[in-house]
Structure formats: C-alpha cells, structure tokens
Amino acid sequence: MNQEFAIVLGTPGLATADEAADGKDATYYISLGDSLASGYQPDVDKDTDVAYTDQLYTQLTQRTPGLKHIRLGCTAETTESLLKGGKCDYPNAKSQLDAALKAMAQHHGKVAYVTLSVGANDILLNCVSPAGTLDGACLNSRSQTMATNLAQIAGALRKAGAKDTQFVGSTYHNPFLATWLLGAEGQQAAKESAPLLEAANTGITQVYKSTGFKVADLPGTFSSDDFTTQVNVPGAGEVPANVAKICQLTWACTKKDPTPTPKATK
C-alpha cells in the first residue's frame, strides 16, 4: 500500500543530508487516519509498526534526509471522531485533527508530507450485517455525512500546510468481497458490494481533489473490480482475482477483519 502513496508523492525542495544532520532543517511527515494508519493487526489484537505509514516513512527517509514521523493514526477512528475526538487520547489536543493542526502550527513550513486514511469505519461500524454483507441504503446515507466530515478535515489540513507541503488521501479496498466464499448468496452480495464501494470511493476522491489532496488508489492495488480473472486460492479453489486479493492481502477471509496484512502494507 505504501507504494501507492509513494508514487503520488514527489520530493519537495528540502534540506541536504548535512543540513538535516545538524538539526537545523528537520522536516516532518504527519500521518492521520484509522487502523490503516495505526497498524492494527487482529492476529495480535493491537497496533503494530507494520502500517503503510511506517513503510512509507522508511521509504521517504531515503530521499528526504532528516525526516521525522508524527504518527497520529487511531484504530476504529471515524471521520466524526477524527474531528471531535473520543477514540484515542492526544496530549493537549481534543482530537486527532486537533493534534495534527497543532503539530503543523508548531512546525509550520517544515511539514513536507501529510497522509490521511479515514472513512471506512463510518461504514463498517454502521452498515454491515452479522453475515458481513453491506446495506446499500445505509452506505448511501453514511457516505454523505462522511464526505461532509472528510471535506472539513482535508480542508483544515490543507489550509494549515505550507506551499510545499504534499497531501495524499486514500480510497479504500472492498473487504465485502470476502463474502464470495459463503456460497451463492455470498457471491451475489460480493457482486452487489462492488458498485456501492466504487460510488463511495468516487465521493472520497472528489472530496480529496477539491481540497488539493492527491489520491492513493487502493482499489486498484486490490484489483477490486476484477471478477473475470480466476485465481486459485488454497482452501477456496478458483475465485475471482479481486476475491483472491482480499484473501491474500487482508484478514477478511480468515478473521473477518478488513485490516490489511503486513504483506499488503509493503
């Protein structure tokens, strides 16, 4: 996943290695979001250091000497809680957004990169049945609120940045494809989820672009629309490529958790 972010990030005019070494021109990468950003892994039931944000930071330090990572991601964060708080605690800040804005003010002119991944839990916490299928009417309703909140978040971050600060937000993969493994009804549910998630991601993309963010295309990485190509998955047999990717790159098929595995974040 970090490759998608790295591709859309350029390299701004920053300090040389010697300048960065003496501490005068340290620059910052601020990462915000939900479990994608915090590195939560359900097999150990805790946040880890294998988030895409950690992998991206390692890659960015190779071309941005002196870069420091301000890691703010919070598991189960929604667009509302990122705005208002309530999921994770931040010293001297009421919410994740507030913490980010204060960090950007403190290091104004030295924040090189900002990444944001939030919105999935607006849907996952409200619009999913016990069987793991997606409620389309709920999704459409929640997507409108999510877009409003996301516009406020992205707009505030963009306004707080400097001219050279680069902003990237992500769309989302489709964990509901995992229902394909449940038989005929599950396969129908998986097919029905694809246009619903595509519409939600279109809305997210529009918000990001309208606020000056670049967009990391996660559905592309996960081949989310490819029901045609068949792939053999151990224990499941021949399944569409998008289902195979969800099983290989997330915990959706084994632990019913949409979180990407460490393999996916590299």
Answer for the pair 238, 230: CB distance below 8 angstroms, yes or no.
Answer: yes
Q: Please report the pLDDT score of residue 21 as a whole number.
A: 45
Using CA atoms, how far apart are residues 99 and 114, in angstroms rounded to an integer? 13
Rounded CA gap, 171 and 219, in Å?
Answer: 7
Is 115 in contact with 70 (CB distance < 8 Å)? no
**CATH (domain of 56):** 3.40.50.1110
pLDDT in tens, 174-209: 999 999 999 999 999 999 999 999 999 999 999 999
Q: What is the 3-state secondary structure (H, E, C) of the chain?
A: CHHHHHHHCCCCCCCCHHHHHCCCCCEEEEEEECHHHHCEECCCCEECCCCHHHHHHHHHHCCCCCEEEEECCCCCCCHHHHHHCCCCCECCECCHHHHHHHHHHHCCCCEEEEEEECCHHHHHCCCECCCCCECHHHHHHHHHHHHHHHHHHHHHHHHHCCCCCEEEEECCCCHHHHHHHHCHHHHHHHHHHHHHHHHHHHHHHHHHHHCCCEEECHHHHCCCCCCCCEEEECCCEEEEHHHHHHHHHEECCCCCEEEECHHHHC
- In the structure, what pLDDT confidence band is assigned to residue 102 with cuts at 50, 70 and 90? very high
Q: Tokens 């694809």, residue?
A: 194
User: What is the C-alpha separation between 148 and 216, in angstroms, rounded?
Assistant: 20
In degrees and rounded to multiples of 5, residue 261 shows phi and psi of: -80, 170
Please measure the distance between the N-terminal and C-terminal CA atoms of the chain and give it in whole angstroms.
Answer: 6
The average confidence (pLDDT) of the chain is: 91
- Residue 261: what residue type? T
> Kindly report the CA angle at 186 between 185 and 187, in degrees rounded to 5?
90
Could you list the residue range(s) of the whole structural domain that residue 229 is in? 2-265
From 188, 33, 40, select the one nearest 97 (Cα to Cα).
33
**Mean pLDDT for the stretch of residues 220-224:** 93
The model's pLDDT over 51-100, given as tens digits with 9 standing for 90+, comes to 999 999 999 999 888 999 999 999 999 999 999 999 999 999 999 999 99
User: What pLDDT score does 16 carry?
Assistant: 41
Please state the pTM of the whole predicted model.
Answer: 0.91
Q: Could you report the per-residue pLDDT of 115-131, keeping only the tens digit for each?
A: 999 999 999 889 988 87
Overall domain count for the chain: 1
How far out from the chain centre does Cα 103 lie? 20
Q: Which of 265, 252, 246 is nearest to 48 (CA)?
A: 265
In order of 58, 140, 143, the CA distances from 203 in angstroms are: 30, 10, 8
pLDDT in the model for residue 266 = 74
| Predicted confidence (pLDDT) per residue in 13-64, tens digit | 444 444 444 455 789 999 999 999 999 999 999 999 999 999 999 999 998 8
